[in-house]
Structure 1
Amino acid sequence: MPALMTANRSVKTGTTVLLVAGALALSACGTKAPKQLPPEPGPATTTQTPGQPAGPVPGSQADFLARMMGSDTIHFGLDQYDIDAEDQAALAKQAQWLMQYPSKRATIEGHCDERGTREYNIALGERRANAAKNYLVSLGVDASRLSTVSFGKERPVALGSDEASWAQNRRAVTVTID
């Protein structure tokens, strides 16, 4: 038994020596400062080529967001999934953009506030996403270009536990697919 203890002790000592030697070797591998520092950054330059339009690429998600100016998101009342007049105006703007780019597809995300069970909010988020999708289809957008997903309460945009935060989280968001 004493021989076994001595062997274990020598293995532990050998391991410790290797770890210390490795740490010392790594600490000796510092980077040297360059002889000359790079110049200070100058004024910003653009990489726009002549004839290229300024701003986002037409038909891109960035273009969609720029043109929607917040109308990519519609909001709902507590436990509601109906499309009101304000939502109709936002969805009409989305439909107009989608009709301009007939090869673009979109996903409509349904979201809820933090109240209620996970299962209830997933189902409510799905009803909200489908309500937005159905309205876009009624405006002439081909249903095969639209998909829906419900995130329930899993992706809040406002983290507070008050009515103002909850109202921001009860939403459907349209995201174009590139």
Structure 2
Amino acid sequence: MPSSLSISRHTRTGATMLLVAGALAVSACKTSAPQELPPEPGPATTTTTAPTQPLGPVAGSQADFVAKMMGADTIYFDTDKYDIDSMDQQALAKQAQWLMQYPNKRATIEGHADERGTREYNLALGERRANAAKNYLVSLGVDASRLGTISYGKERPVALGSNEQAWAQNRRAVTVTID
């Protein structure tokens, strides 16, 4: 059996070797200061590139028309009516101004009705509404050959429901630009 003196000698020798190995490892990783410092940074430079996408809708497009109209692309009517009131006149004047700015653009005016009444009656009422809007635009100087009309009657409601609120939203004429 080994003596306690020989065990402690082996332990001390092993510990010393570990200490020396650790010191060597640390000294091997030590970095020295560079002999020359990097140059001072110069003034900040920025490069700007033109955006690849337009910031808004393309001028003269349907999206541009809708954005500029801010809801004035649609006019509303009372029950069984197709007359142009003062609010409609303002909306149509805004439409005419846009159409005059883009003389090569054409538009279709869609006439709509609420769900009440027969299909035939509502198609005829939608047609009268679309024609009333068209005629007013023509009176403001828009060439009639640039404007078409179509009636959807009660076939394309924007509001579902059988109440006055839904019906009021569906009695309308909508101007849609086309190429």
Displacement of 1:54: 1.4
| Post-superposition offset of 1:51 | 8.6
Helix, strand or coil: the match of 2:96?
Answer: helix
* Structure-to-structure mapping, 1:43-122, within 5 angstroms: 49-50=50-51, 53-122=54-123
State the TM-score, normalizing by the size of structure 2: 0.71
The number of aligned residues is 131
> Whole-Å Cα distance in 2 between the matches of residues 119 and 49 of structure 1?
54
Q: Percent same amino acid at aligned positions?
A: 82
User: Structure 1 length normalisation: TM-score?
Assistant: 0.71
Cα-to-partner distance string for 1:66-104 (whole Å, 9 max, x where unaligned)? 000000000000000000000000000000000000000
Unaligned runs of 5+ in 1: 1-47
Q: Which runs of 5+ in 2 are unaligned?
A: 1-48
**Structure 2: distance between partners of 1:69 and 1:146:** 21
3-state SS of paired residue (1:132): helix
Q: Report SS of the residue matched to 2:116.
A: coil
RMSD between superposed Cα atoms in Å: 1.4
**Alignment of structure 1 residues 18-29 onto 2, 5 Å:** none
Distance 1:124 1:109 in 2: 11
Larger Rg: 2
**1:128-160: CA deviations, max 9, x gaps?**
000000000000000000000000000000001
Q: What is the CA-CA distance between 1:52 and the residue it aligns to?
A: 6.7
Quick one: distance in 1 between partners of 2:123 and 2:50? Answer: 46
Looking at structure 2, the residues matched to 149 and 56 of structure 1 have their Cα atoms a distance apart, in angstroms, of 26
Alpha-carbon distance between aligned partners in 2 of 1:80 and 1:66, rounded to the nearest angstrom: 28
Aligned to 2:28: none
